[in-house]
Amino acid sequence: MKNFALIGAAGYIAPRHMKAIKDTGNHLLAAYDPYDGVGIMDSYFPSARFFVEFERFDRYLEKLKYDEKVPLDYISIASPNYLHDAHIRVALRRGADAICEKPLVLNPWNIDALERLSEETGKKINTILQLRLHQTIIDLKKRVEEAPKDKIFDIDLTYITSRGYWYYTSWKGDVTKSGGIATNIGVHFFDMLAWIFGDIQQNTVHIHTHDRAAGFLQLERARVRWFLSINEETLPEAIKAKGQRTYRSITIEGEELEFSAGFTDLHTRSYEEILKGNGYTITDARRAIETVHQIRNQQPVGLKGDYHPFAVK
Ligand code: NAD
Ligand code: HP7
């Protein structure tokens, strides 16, 4: 049984980490969040200690190590994106491996610094990239691998996860904290696309606003028109009619694969792989971090060239 601590315990995704720790037969010793709405802990680890001040959390971890000789194997990190690298350093310096939410960091140079610390401490940094564990995506990767090696696929990727006005008020709406929507939400599919279709050769952004982004990617084995939105008005009419607010779809050579469902257990699946030593590492995360950094820092060209049909919405 491995011992865990959790940073960012009061947030939306934290219960998925608690569940994954429990489902994999492990134990949560302590959790930290400056906000104290963490009653959900009772459903998973009622005996875990909880702190709203970092210094007290840190003192407790030291006490476990030196007074009680209790090992701490992992620190899971579900805090806002711009704090991830600092929280990963807390884990590694304390002698634990890190399991950090996506995006691992906001900028490529943050990865270089973490790589140095990982080498220095001998501790591992794992990240959550759960699209790589989604069955529809695994099947698609297999299909591409089995196709003739010179085949270049035509892809439309549509990724709509509707959010209310709260999103813009929260840290998620602040580009300096979340990286903006292409980083906070898009990182999943940029990682997935390069994982399946190979390195990015051209990266054009057509539009990029607070609630949507669209662009074109030339990958080794695909031409991809992509559209990302958090505005429900951009959902296809048929999806709206079903009352569905999330629409994740990939059209490959005209054939649609919808993968909106199938996400609920993927944090547990991610933990299973991490515990077996097969977690996604800092090296796996780098390519998508570079891609979203480029997208964040380039001027959209407007509706020119090969753009996704939803870009006109
Ligand atoms: P959230 O805002 O609901 O939760 C973040 C939590 O971090 C809050 O409880 C907040 O109080 C806490 N926090 C703020 N400052 C902190 C600090 N200095 N130290 C410790 N905790 C602090 O956000 P969320 O949706 O739970 O997102 C958390 C992380 O998980 C983000 O990195 C996000 O990108 C990621 N996420 C991933 C997925 C996924 O599909 N893999 C889904 C949602 C969120
Ligand atoms: N929801 C909340 O209640 N609070 C939140 O903070 C977020 C959602 P999905 P996930 O928005 O930050 C995706 O669209 O898949 C509600 C990204 N992950 O399925 O869980 C929401 O209103 C993630 O990287 O959201 O998360 C729905 O009712 C990104 O950080 C419900 O939860 C996150 O959005 C489910 O919403 C975000 C993927 O796309 C895989």
pLDDT per 10-residue tile (average), the chain, 313 residues: 98 98 98 98 98 98 95 98 98 98 97 97 98 97 97 98 98 98 98 98 98 98 98 97 97 94 95 98 97 98 97 93
For 44, what's the count of Cα atoms within 13 Å in the CB-facing half-sphere?
27
C-alpha of residue 144 to centroid of ligand 1, in Å = 34
ipTM over 0.95: yes
**Residue-level pLDDT at 108:** 97
Alpha-carbon gap, residue 98 to 119, rounded angstroms: 13
Q: Taking each helix axis as running N to C, give the angle between helix 282-296 and helix 186-197, from 0 to 180 degrees, rounded to the nearest 10.
A: 120
Question: Ligand 2 pocket, 12 CB below 6 A?
Answer: yes
The C-alpha atoms of residue 87 and residue 89 are separated, in whole angstroms, by 5
Gyration radius of the chain's alpha carbons:
20
pLDDT of residue 77: 99
Residue 12 Cβ < 6 Å to ligand 1 = yes
**Pocket lining: 156 vs ligand 1, CB cutoff 6 Å:** no
| DSSP-assigned states of every residue in 96-164 | -EEEEPSSS-SSHHHHHHHHHHHHHHT--EEE--GGGG-HHHHHHHHHHHHS-TT--EEEEEEEEE---
Is residue 170 within 6 Å of ligand 2 at its C-beta?
no
Enclosing H/E stretch for 283: helix 282-296
- Closest approach atom of ligand 1 to CA 37: 9
The pLDDT value given to residue 313: 86
Residue 157: how many other CB atoms lie within 10 Å: 24
Provide the CB-side half-sphere exposure for 199 (13 A, CA).
2
Identify the residue whose C-alpha is closest to ligand 2 atom 25. Answer: 161
Q: Say if residues 35 and 10 touch (Cβ distance below 8 Å).
A: yes
Whole-number Å distance between alpha carbons of 244 and 18: 27
B/e letters for 165-175, b = 16+ CB within 10 Å, e = fewer, are eebeeeebbeb
Q: Is the CB of 246 under 6 A from ligand 2?
A: yes
Residue nearest to atom 29 of ligand 2 (CA): 185
Closest CA to 4 of 30, 24, 25: 30
pLDDT of residue 67: 94
The atom of ligand 2 lying closest to the CA of 164 is 22
What span, in angstroms and rounded, lies between the C-alpha atoms of 232 and 264?
21
Domains and CATH numbers, the chain: 3-130 (3.40.50.720), 131-312 (3.30.360.10)
Beta strands 255-258 and 97-100 are unpaired
What is the β-pairing status of strands 49-51 and 27-32? Answer: parallel
CB of 217 within 8 A of CB of 205?
no
Q: Identify the sign of the CA torsion 130, 122, 286, 82.
A: positive
